Amino acid sequence: MARKKVRKTKTPLKTAFLENLFISGLRQEPGALCATGLAGCVEKLFKDSRRTGRADNALRAGMQFLGGDRSAEELRTLNATITQCHCDLEDPLVASLHETALPDPLEFVVTELCTALGAAIPSSSDERDKLDESVKELDRHVDSNEERPAVTEDWEALMEAEDQLGPLPADWLTPEAKPEAPPAPATGPWPSTPADISPSAGGPAQTIANLLAWPATHTLFRLLALLGKHSPAFEAALSSTPRTSAAALACLEHALTLFEAGPSSPSSPPAPTLTALAATAASVAQLFTCGVSMRRLVALLRLSGDTFLALAARLERAFASPSPSSASSSSAFIPGRTWWAAAARAIRTDRANRAAPPDALRLMRAHRAGPTCKRPNCPGAALLTCRRCGLARYCSPACQKAAWSRGGAPHRALCDGVAALRRGLGLAGDDAGWRALLVGEAEGEGAGEGEGRFAALCEERRVDPEVCFAIGDELVLYVVLERGAAAAV
């Protein structure tokens, strides 16, 4: 009987060898691969993963490379050294990794790493279903028109025995406390530990800042959204980092600008296709819907309202433009397109139904009445009040200093807005009059009368409604971030 020939596979050995080459290159060890060689490794390890198998060690090293701690000088040095090729091209495998010439191999590595990491994160449901559900939530928000920040009605009972603190200097900053070192990285499937998700010693917030230091691509923001959906702590950090949303919108605006300009010259960057633009729009939408909290979403939309509406209008024009790839890409860009249209409707409805002075007064009263310290994550009692704004209350001068310019909603922005409002109302030097307005101490004041009196005073003094809108936005953002931090705990 003829002996059956058994085909031997070299896949595990090849995968392990490629992983070692890749990890060594990311760590820039002696004799490591350059950016072009790393790009070739990415192609073989991640794009052909069905044949090579899942490379968890490479994924873990990749997340450490992208999200690990690195100073600005170290990042510049890395960009300079990793692009210089000192690879052993006499080795056939190493030479094969250099076959494809790329204009920016390091950016290619970062982009494909983000894609591979996002694909490796366990998902409980389809991303398109998430966006579709967010569209339904936005539509319900537009129809019901009942989403308003919760307010506290018992502020009078909380305004007793308060002390006063003076205003903070404009340049008052508090040094960041040194966080504890993270535990040693785990082995096995990625991600399996919190350190796999947040390799920075500063936790999720610093990991996000480290990720944003790399070139902004839609795969990066999709990765951030997926990490947020996988980890509640990471989601809370995303909620308290407005820079993330601003960077995502800037990335989408850049892609739109290139798409609208079209191909210009061979030396200019290539214009993205409609499918690529749709992928960017969907990735930014996923980032905004991370956690699917309608209150947080509306607050984020409100804070970037004009920018958001302009981008939504430009996106709609781009999606409506004739394109050779429209037919084949329609299924890819429909979720992002419908979400952006629904979000734009929500912003317009929110603006149409906002009463600036009454809303601002309700929010200011609720903020001042809160029983706990206004420094984020501080459970201390609110005993001392900022004299400049008369709103923020803290448990100690140290907390006042720390809250002035740190966190997702630093007090400085709110304090400046309230100071401008007090000047406009003629109450800049009248602490007693301002306190009476906030606490509602007018004789015989009934429900809603204080808001009417405040609105009439704003109209009489010709206070710009945008001043009240800005104060309301800062207070809504604080409420959103405070609840996000509480949920994370």
Mean model confidence pLDDT for the chain = 75
My answer on whether 348 and 367 are in the same domain is: no
Same domain? 362 vs 339:
no
Question: Are both 51 and 87 inside the same structural domain?
Answer: yes
Domain boundary among 120, 138, 157: 120
Q: Which residue has the higher pLDDT, 488 or 319?
A: 319
Same domain for 361 and 337: no
Please give the tally of structural domains in the chain: 3
Could you tell me which residues come within 8 angstroms of residue 219 by beta carbon, excluding any fewer than 6 positions away?
Answer: 111, 112, 114, 115, 118, 283
Decide if 374 contacts 394 (C-beta within 8 A): yes
Residue 385 lies in domain: 356-488
Same domain, 382 and 483: yes
Domain-terminating residue out of 306, 334, 352: 352
**Is the residue at 161 inside a domain?**
no
Q: Is the pTM of this model over 0.75?
A: no
Domain-ending residue, one of 337, 352, 367: 352
Residue 188 within any structural domain of the chain:
no
**Residue 175 covered by a domain:** no
Q: Are residues 402 and 316 in the same domain?
A: no
Same domain, 96 and 31: yes
Tell whether 195 is covered by a domain.
Answer: no
| Residue 230 sits in the same domain as residue 336 | yes
In a domain, 183, yes or no: no
Instruction: State residue 217's pLDDT score.
Output: 86
Mean pLDDT of 78-100: 85
Beta bridge partners, 386, equal: 165
Domain match, 360 and 347 both: no
Considering only residues 96 and 239, tell me which one the structure prediction assigns the higher pLDDT: 96
3-state secondary structure 386-427: ECCCCCCEECCHHHHHHHHHCCCCCHHHHHHHHHHHHHHHCC
Structural domain contains residue 383: yes
Q: Do residue 361 and residue 347 come from a single domain? A: no
73 shares its domain with 108: yes
| Range 403-415 average pLDDT | 79
123 band by pLDDT with thresholds 50, 70 and 90:
low
**Are both 322 and 336 inside the same structural domain?**
yes
CA distances from 65 to 69, 76, 211, 213 (A): 9, 14, 9, 12
Residue 329, in any domain of the structure: yes
Of 141-155, 197-211, 263-277, the range with the lowest mean pLDDT is 141-155
Q: Is residue 375 part of a domain?
A: yes
Question: What is the percent of the chain with per-residue pLDDT over 90, rounded to a whole number?
Answer: 5
